[in-house]
Amino acid sequence: MFKKVLVASALLATIINANASSSAFGLTGTITPEACNVTLTGGTVNLGSISTSVVKGYGTLGTSYSMPNVLVPISIICSAPTKVEVSFVDNKVGKVFALDAHDAIRYGIVDGAGTTAIGTYQTSFTSTVIDNVAVGQFLNAPNNTTTWTATGPTGLPASFGAQGYTIGFAKLAGATTPDSFTTLAGNLTFSTFISGVYVKSATAAITPTGSGTLTLVYL
């Protein structure tokens, strides 16, 4: 009887071990973000070679001369509908020549490699369409946030590319959040202002120099 119990126990152990095989499991895959590319046709605005006498004939804003506006075509092309926005940063921080209450949205200008602020410029989206539909609502938020408003930090429309802020695009007027899109086409209009005092006192060629960075932001 004892031997039978041992044999039965041995058989049971064999059966349990036979059913105790294992197999690994896990997870893998690839999630590929949609790719968008931005193109600024001639991103560096060239004001051309202009004599001081011509500049003095331009209109003024405050104590500065208003240079002719320059349009720079901009396009954004995505591989699929993507919620992508555009952020702006001034690379000449602290070099904005004071004009008025909207200085906070503007960018600094120095003379060549100089360090003194001699002017300022601003930029805004014009004639802009997304997926062949005219943008009905531009939206503005501080960089790295989604606190969207229809006006910029100084009360100007959200179509102005304020330094330190992000612009979103919506097809319908009154929208409160940006839309996804595959293509964007339009212009960035640059308006430049040069200190009147600096122009009048110049004894050598002035080389207005500004620098900013435009970056695509995926939401």
The percent of residues above 90 in pLDDT, for the chain, comes to 74
Whether residue 7 is predicted with pLDDT greater than 50 in this model: the reply is no
- For the CA atoms of the chain, what is the radius of gyration? 30
Is 51 buried (19+), middle (13-18) or exposed (0-12) by CB count in 10 A? exposed
* 4-13, 64-73, 81-90, 103-112: the lowest-pLDDT one: 4-13
Quick one: average pLDDT of 77-81?
Answer: 94
Quick one: average pLDDT of 91-100?
Answer: 93
For position 192, what pLDDT does the model report?
93
- All structural domains of the chain, each given as residue ranges with its CATH number in brackets, are 34-218 (2.60.40.1090)
Rounded-to-integer distance, Cα 4 and Cα 101, Å: 100
Whether residue 133 is predicted with pLDDT greater than 90 in this model: the reply is yes
* 6-15, 20-29, 186-195: the lowest-pLDDT one: 6-15
pTM over 0.85: no
Straight-line distance from the first to the last Cα atom of the chain, in angstroms, rounded to the nearest whole number:
76
CA distances from 6 to 12, 15, 16, 72, 177 (A): 10, 14, 15, 91, 76
Higher-scoring residue by pLDDT: 45, 19: 45
Q: How far is CA 156 from the centre of its chain?
A: 18
Both tokens of 93, joined, read 């921080």
Whether residue 18 is predicted with pLDDT greater than 80 in this model: the reply is no
